């Protein structure tokens, strides 16, 4: 009974306290609502106009647009590479575009243009298909539970689900019409565009009808426009492109290996840049200054575009090359090389190279090359091989050897006679000249150059480095003997980069100086003395012969003569920079010493000795001085590098200048890897054409 009374008492107490708690809670709620209303009123009255202005605010962004690249001219003002303007369908992506809007624009635009030269990938087709909201929902509903949720029942990441959708669609092998394929390509291009950037939807083979139809429907194609694009044009032929280089496409954009560099220089990822040779070397000059427009964006829509800087076309380059002479040198090299192939002399040859230079300035007058693949028997243009391929040049370098001997005091202009007896080293085949042993008992320097005596150069080198030599028994040389000869060769540019204004120049190849026991390779040093050891590039050879031709000044070769600005009419170039002649080194010889070398090189062509090597050029006018060369080599098969049965071959070379008494042009020609049984006189044939054509064009 007491328990029942107690229960009723407690129940009454609880019932009495309930309204009190409710009133407290309701009071708190009323206070919070009051505070909220007061805050809203404060914001509306105090900051309403500011928020309204923020909503209506127009953002202003600066957008850059590419300009045409600079033009390249030859030395006589002919256009070597220019820009061909062409119409284009463009698209500028605004800030509010969605995949559904992109899908709609792509479908509409695909009704008016075709992209027959492009084929969409499977991924591009599937992305386009899933951009349709109905298709996306249908395919999503067909996914299994495992394809949408993980083991815990949580939804998989959106990217994972999308990949599952792509796999599912790919298994369905859907068919797409040609118009849908075009729409897929357009969708892919628009989707990949950066916000407020302008891209080209179609800039190749755009017809007048397509331009007209798109123009009529621009109102229903937000962001789409009709603009102008440009492409590189080669009115004097594309063979020179191997020197001029290439420009990347908008699709390729910036090269991956230099991506960060270009981005720090203000480039966009889809900008076109020079990717090789002159286009790359002079990129900063050729690219010009981008046009800048101020784009006003309001409520995520482009309201207005205003040009604030029209941009500036890239600077023009005037090259040292003469387009007509360049074409004639290329034609001569190809004609003679074709003859060598027909004669069976070039079966294992790696090609042929020729370069001409003004010896007094360093201006490159023509540069040409052929790369031959013995496996496929295919020839390709390879003018850049002149600066980046190295060959053992043979006797053509003997002018530098004689110069070193004279300047070292080993011989003098009045006393340069040395015995012409072969060199007999222990356990080594006899080292001699091409002509029979005993043909000459002794030679002076001029005659040694004329008949191309290897023996003379070896005796000169031994006297020069102060070697000890007993035939058949003994030879000893100082450890710095290679350094002595190579320092001399380097004065003429042999064995080091010339500094020509093209990327990728090689410095040549140096052979070993010591064996594994650190013993000097005496026989190899003797080979070096007559040009049968180290390898040099053709551009080094023309720099070397130019140094002799001009009296001792090593000139830096260059291809860009001037930089200027082309007028809007395209008919005039205002020059604001001329490349100065750059003397890299002055050879410290006397006039008498130089006269010995020049007389010897004159006699190579005009001498009367039966063993003279370039008499075929004797009748060419103006007169030619020069030096031939032959070096032993072998065919290297990259698939069988250790092949001991590789055929022995020769490199045939010629360097020379003309006129002999007042040189205007110097040349270097190399035919590497010829059959020694069918050597012929191919290098001399090319030299004859190069000299004759030059003076015919420069009377």
* Candidate ranges 36-40, 73-77, 372-376, 408-412; pick with highest mean pLDDT: 408-412
Q: Stretch 332-348: mean pLDDT, rounded? A: 96
Is residue 55 pLDDT above 50, yes or no?
no
The answer to the question of residue 553 being in a domain is yes
Q: Stretch 660-677: mean pLDDT, rounded? A: 96
Report whether 393 contacts 531 (CB < 8 A).
yes
Is residue 408 pLDDT above 90, yes or no?
yes
Q: Stretch 317-338: mean pLDDT, rounded? A: 95
Q: Which residues, including other chains, have CB under 8 Å from residue 345's CB and lie 6 or more apart?
A: 674, 675, 678, 679, 680, 682
Q: Whole-angstrom Cα distance, residue 4 to residue 400?
A: 130
Q: Whole-angstrom Cα distance, residue 283 to residue 270?
A: 15
- Residue-averaged pLDDT of the chain: 88
CATH code of residue 608:
3.40.710.10
Q: Stretch 528-543: mean pLDDT, rounded? A: 97
Is residue 488 pLDDT above 80, yes or no?
yes
Q: How confident is the model at residue 241 (pLDDT cuts 50, 70, 90)?
A: confident
Q: Looking at residue 570, what is its pLDDT? A: 67
Least confident piece of the model among 301-315, 336-350, 441-455: 301-315
Q: How many CB atoms lie within 10 A of CB 51?
A: 11
Is residue 136 pLDDT above 60, yes or no?
yes
Q: Looking at residue 2, what is its pLDDT? A: 45
Residue 655, classed as helix, strand or coil, is strand
The answer to the question of residue 218 being in a domain is no
Q: Looking at residue 237, what is its pLDDT? A: 76
> Cα-flanking dihedrals φ and ψ of residue 661, to 5°?
-95, -15
Report whether 642 contacts 299 (CB < 8 A).
no
Report whether 470 contacts 353 (CB < 8 A).
no
Pick the more confident residue, 16 or 520: 520
The 10s digit of each residue's pLDDT in 623-639 is: 999 999 999 988 877 66
- Name the percent of the chain lying above pLDDT 90: 61
Is beta strand 72-73 parallel, antiparallel or unpaired with respect to 316-319? parallel
* Count of the separate structural domains present in the chain: 2
Kindly give the residue spans of alpha helices, DSSP state H, lying in 586-641. Answer: 591-606
Q: Looking at residue 5, what is its pLDDT? A: 47
Is residue 291 pLDDT above 70, yes or no?
no
Q: How confident is the model at residue 663 (pLDDT cuts 50, 70, 90)?
A: very high
Pick the more confident residue, 114 or 292: 114
416 is catalytic: no
The 10s digit of each residue's pLDDT in 363-400 is: 999 999 999 999 999 999 999 999 999 999 999 999 99
Q: Looking at residue 380, what is its pLDDT? A: 92
The answer to the question of residue 202 being in a domain is no
Q: Looking at residue 292, what is its pLDDT? A: 63
Q: Looking at residue 9, what is its pLDDT? A: 44
Of 656, 551, 538, 674, give the one whose Cα is nearest residue 604. 656
Residues written for the chain: 699
Q: Stretch 343-361: mean pLDDT, rounded? A: 96
The answer to the question of residue 525 being in a domain is yes
Pick the more confident residue, 50 or 408: 408
Pick the more confident residue, 524 or 99: 524
Is residue 310 pLDDT above 70, yes or no?
no
Q: Whole-angstrom Cα distance, residue 677 to residue 679?
A: 6
Of 565, 441, 547, give the one whose Cα is nearest residue 494. 547
The answer to the question of residue 280 being in a domain is no
Q: How confident is the model at residue 7 (pLDDT cuts 50, 70, 90)?
A: very low
Report whether 295 contacts 61 (CB < 8 A).
yes
The 10s digit of each residue's pLDDT in 77-117 is: 999 998 888 888 988 877 777 888 899 999 999 999 999 88
Q: Stretch 594-605: mean pLDDT, rounded? A: 98
The answer to the question of residue 291 being in a domain is no
Q: Whole-angstrom Cα distance, residue 454 to residue 398?
A: 9
Residue 108, classed as helix, strand or coil, is helix
Q: Which domain holds residue 364?
A: 323-697
Q: Looking at residue 31, what is its pLDDT? A: 78
Q: Which of 395, 452, 652, 658 is catalytic?
A: 395
Q: How confident is the model at residue 186 (pLDDT cuts 50, 70, 90)?
A: very high
The answer to the question of residue 268 being in a domain is no
> Cα-flanking dihedrals φ and ψ of residue 233, to 5°?
-125, 140
Q: Looking at residue 337, what is its pLDDT? A: 98
The answer to the question of residue 693 being in a domain is yes
Q: Stretch 41-55: mean pLDDT, rounded? A: 60
- Name the percent of the chain lying above pLDDT 70: 88
Between vectors from CA 474 to CA 473 and to CA 475, what angle results, nearest 5°? 150
Pick the more confident residue, 222 or 419: 419
Q: Looking at residue 652, what is its pLDDT? A: 97
Q: Could you write out the three-class secondary structure of 401-412?
A: HHHHHHHHCCCE
Q: Whole-angstrom Cα distance, residue 670 to residue 668?
A: 7
Q: Looking at residue 3, what is its pLDDT? A: 44
Q: Whole-angstrom Cα distance, residue 167 to residue 303?
A: 41
The DSSP code for 155 is: B
Chain centre distance of CA 38: 70
Report whether 259 contacts 284 (CB < 8 A).
no
Of 431, 406, 409, give the one whose Cα is nearest residue 421. 431
Pick the more confident residue, 323 or 265: 323
């Amino acid at each position: 009974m007491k328990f029942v009374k107690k229960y009723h008492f407690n129940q009454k107490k609880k019932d009495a306290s309930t309204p009190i708690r409710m009133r407290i809670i309701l009071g708190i709620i009323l206070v919070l609502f009051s505070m909220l209303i007061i805050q809203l009123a404060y914001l509306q009255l105090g900051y309403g106009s500011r928020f309204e202005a923020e909503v209506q605010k127009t953002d202003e962004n600066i957008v850059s647009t590419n300009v045409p690249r600079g033009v390249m001219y030859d030395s006589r003002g002919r256009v070597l590479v220019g820009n061909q303007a062409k119409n284009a369908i463009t698209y500028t992506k605004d800030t509010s575009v969605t995949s559904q809007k992109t899908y709609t624009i792509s479908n509409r635009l695909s009704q008016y243009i075709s992209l027959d030269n492009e084929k969409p990938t499977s991924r591009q087709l599937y992305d386009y298909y899933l951009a349709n909201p109905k298709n996306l929902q249908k395919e999503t509903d067909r996914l299994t539970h495992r394809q949408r949720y993980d083991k815990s029942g949580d939804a998989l990441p959106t990217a994972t689900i999308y990949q599952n959708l792509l796999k599912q669609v790919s298994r369905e092998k859907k068919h797409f019409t040609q118009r849908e394929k075009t729409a897929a390509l357009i969708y892919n291009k628009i989707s990949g565009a950066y916000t407020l950037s302008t891209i080209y939807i179609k800039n190749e083979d755009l017809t007048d009808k397509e331009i007209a139809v798109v123009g009529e429907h621009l109102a229903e194609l937000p962001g789409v426009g009709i603009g102008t694009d440009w492409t590189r044009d080669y009115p004097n032929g594309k063979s020179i492109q191997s020197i001029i280089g290439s420009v990347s496409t908008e699709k390729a954009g910036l090269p991956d290996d230099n991506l960060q560099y270009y981005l720090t220089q203000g480039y966009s990822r889809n900008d076109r840049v020079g990717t090789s040779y002159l286009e790359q070397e002079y990129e900063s000059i050729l690219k010009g200054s981008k046009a800048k427009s101020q784009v006003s964006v309001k409520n995520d829509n482009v309201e207005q575009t205003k040009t604030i800087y029209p941009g500036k076309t890239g600077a023009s380059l005037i090259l040292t090359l003469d387009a007509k002479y360049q074409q004639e040198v290329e034609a001569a090299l190809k004609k003679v090389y074709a003859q060598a192939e027909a004669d069976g002399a070039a079966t294992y040859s790696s090609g042929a190279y020729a370069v001409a230079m003004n010896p007094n300035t360093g201006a490159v007058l023509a540069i040409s090359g052929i790369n031959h693949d013995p496996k496929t028997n295919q020839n390709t243009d390879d003018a850049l091989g002149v600066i980046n391929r190295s060959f053992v040049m043979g006797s053509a370098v003997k002018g530098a050897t004689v110069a070193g001997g004279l300047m070292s005091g080993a011989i003098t202009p009045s006393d340069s006679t040395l015995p012409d007896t072969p060199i007999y080293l222990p356990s080594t085949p006899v080292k001699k000249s091409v002509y029979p042993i005993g043909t000459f008992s002794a030679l002076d320097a001029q005659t040694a150059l004329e008949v191309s005596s290897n023996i003379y150069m070896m005796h000169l080198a031994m006297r020069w480095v102060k070697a000890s030599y007993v035939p058949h028994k003994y030879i000893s040389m100082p450890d710095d003997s290679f350094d002595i000869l190579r320092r001399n060769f380097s004065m003429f540019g042999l064995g080091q980069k010339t500094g020509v204004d093209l990327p990728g120049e090689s410095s040549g190849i140096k052979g070993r100086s010591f064996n594994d026991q650190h013993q000097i390779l005496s026989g190899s040093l003797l080979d070096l003395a007559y040009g049968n050891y180290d390898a040099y590039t053709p551009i080094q050879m023309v720099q070397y012969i130019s140094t002799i031709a001009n009296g001792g000044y090593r000139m830096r070769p260059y291809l860009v003569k001037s930089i200027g600005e082309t007028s809007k009419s395209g008919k005039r170039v205002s020059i604001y920079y001329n490349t100065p002649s750059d003397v890299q080194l002055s050879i410290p010889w006397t006039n008498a010493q130089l006269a010995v070398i020049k007389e010897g090189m004159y006699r190579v062509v005009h001498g009367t000795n039966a063993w003279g090597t370039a008499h075929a050029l004797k009748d060419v006018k103006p007169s030619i001085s020069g030096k031939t060369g032959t070096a032993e080599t072998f065919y290297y098969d990259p698939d069988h590098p250790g092949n001991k049965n590789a055929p022995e071959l020769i490199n045939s070379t010629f360097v020379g200048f003309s006129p002999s008494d007042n040189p205007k042009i110097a040349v270097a020609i190399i035919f590497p890897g010829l059959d020694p049984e069918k050597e012929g006189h191919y290098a001399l044939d090319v030299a004859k054409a190069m000299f004759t054509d030059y003076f015919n064009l420069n009377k």
